[in-house]
Amino acid sequence: SQQGEEDPQALSIQEGENATMNCSYKTSINNLQWYRQNSGRGLVHLILIRSNEREKHSGRLRVTLDTSKKSSSLLITASRAADTASYFCATALANQAGTALIFGKGTTLSVSS
């Protein structure tokens, strides 16, 4: 079951520009997490936002959550070539303690210098 869907599938920008990725999900969640994956590597956790939070910041990252629309967005400001990677949202379902995260298909971000 694919809970989250990222949009766009691919994004190409210039260094210094902002990158925005969106994630939509289907059922009620406990929290939503964003991960980054460099090519051929494992995923790295970036940020977690709980269902009762609307916005969260971490360095150049800003995450928003709209539970009424079942959607989240990840904004990377002042992007760098090193931000080139795939970004995935993952959801932890509400009222289901002990279940695993469900991942979307990801957005591939390419930042050129």
Partner 1 sequence: DGGITQSPKYLFRKEGQNVTLSCEQNLNHDAMYWYRQDPGQGLRLIYYSQIVNDFQKGDIAEGYSVSREKKESFPLTVTSAQKNPTAFYLCASSGTGAISPLHFGNGTRLTVT
Q: What does the block give as tokens for 97?
A: 């303690």
Q: Give the residue among 54, 44, 48 at the shortest CA–CA distance from 33.
A: 48
Near partner 1 in 37-66, by CB under 8 A: 40-45, 48, 50
Burial of 77 (0-12, 13-18, 19+ CB in 10 A): middle
Q: How far is the CB of 91 from partner 1 (least distance, A)?
A: 10
Asked if 23 and 104 touch (Cβ cutoff 8 Å), the reply is: yes
Residue count, binding to partner 1 (CB under 8 A): 27
Binding segment toward partner 1, per CB under 8 A, in 12-20, 65-73, 75-83, 90-98 = 90-98
Q: Where along the sequence are the contacts to partner 1 (CB under 8 A)?
A: 1-2, 4, 30-31, 33, 35, 40-45, 48, 50, 88, 90, 92, 97-98, 100-106
